[in-house]
Each structure stands twice: as C-alpha cells, then as structure tokens.
Amino acid sequence: MGAGVMKKAGGGGRRRRSARGKHAAMSEINVTPFVDVMLVLLIIFMVAAPLMTVGVPLELPKTAAKSVPTEAEEPLTISLTVEGQIMVMNTEVPADGLVDRLKAIATERESDKLFLRADGAIPYEKVVQVMGALNAGGFSNIVLVTDTGGPALTGTPEPGN
C-alpha cells in the first residue's frame, strides 16, 4: 500500500478569486510582535530590578529578627559607612547638613518611616547620634536594617535562617 496524490474534483486546480480582488482582509490577530515585545520587557525588568536597591556597600550586623513588610512608597534609606560617610539614599550628605536635608525631605513624604543602615564596625555612639539627627529632622519611625541569620539570645542561629 503506497501513498498517493488525490486530485480535487472539479475546477482543474484553479483557485477562485474573491469579489474584492487579490488582497482580502486578514481576520486573525497576529500576536507574535506582542509576544516579542513582552519578552524583551521581561528581560529588561529582570536585569534592572536588582539595580534598584540602595547601592552603598555595608557589612550589616546579623540578627535573628524577621524582615519588615514592604510598603507602597519607596522607603527613605540612610546609610552610615565605616569611613564615617552619611548617605541619604545614594547621595553623601555632610553631618552638619543632615537635619536640614531631612526636614526638606520630610515635607515631601507621606510616611515618617526611615530605614537606617549602619556598618557593623561603626561605634554605637555614632549610630545613636545619627538617630538623634533623624529624629530632629522629622523622622520618628526609624527601622534599623540588619542581615538575617545572626545569633539569637541563645547564642545559636535560629532554625530556617
């Protein structure tokens, strides 16, 4: 049994032309360009998302505390580097101009929440002095940022960290 070619009945193999001529309107949606654009946007966002975090490198102290839930407004982040620099987001601010800068920022923000990131090698006294300046600048809701996986009060890391 071999495969064969069957001929259609009638017409002699010629196609009928539609009443509109050679080019009839296409009634299907071509989604290929849409999918291509969406994949490119997905790749762009996957690459750009890690770059949107505050980029001041610090050696944060480790604790057993749980993470703080995120909010709709981008959190204001103050970073204290081991060299003694005070960074508001990614901009260095002199210590004597910190309160004025914070007062200007506080008028533009809805939330008084502020994240304080301090290198673990900074003396506690310096951290508390900066916290006083943050309070004087209008921010009373200060969250200290740490890394997870540190020792609990028992001296051993908590399970799951």
Q: Confirm whether 7 is domain-assigned.
A: no
What backbone torsions phi and psi does residue 144 show, to the nearest 5 degrees? -85, 125
Task: Determine the longest span between alpha carbons in the chain, in angstroms.
Answer: 97
Q: What is the pLDDT of residues 49-98, one digit of tens each?
A: 777 665 667 677 777 776 666 556 677 888 888 888 888 888 888 888 88
Structure tokens at 101: 């800068």
In a domain, 91, yes or no: yes
What predicted TM-score, i.e. pTM, was given to this entire model? 0.52
Indicate whether 126 belongs to any domain: yes
CA atoms of 80 and 119, how far apart (whole Å): 6
**Within a domain: residue 27?**
no
Contact 64, 150 (CB under 8 A): yes
Structural domain includes residue 45? no
Question: CATH number of the domain that 87 lies in?
Answer: 3.30.420.270
Q: How confident is the model at residue 36 (pLDDT cuts 50, 70, 90)?
A: very high
Q: Which domain holds residue 116?
A: 76-145
The yes-or-no verdict on residue 16 having pLDDT over 80 is no
Structural domain count of the chain = 1
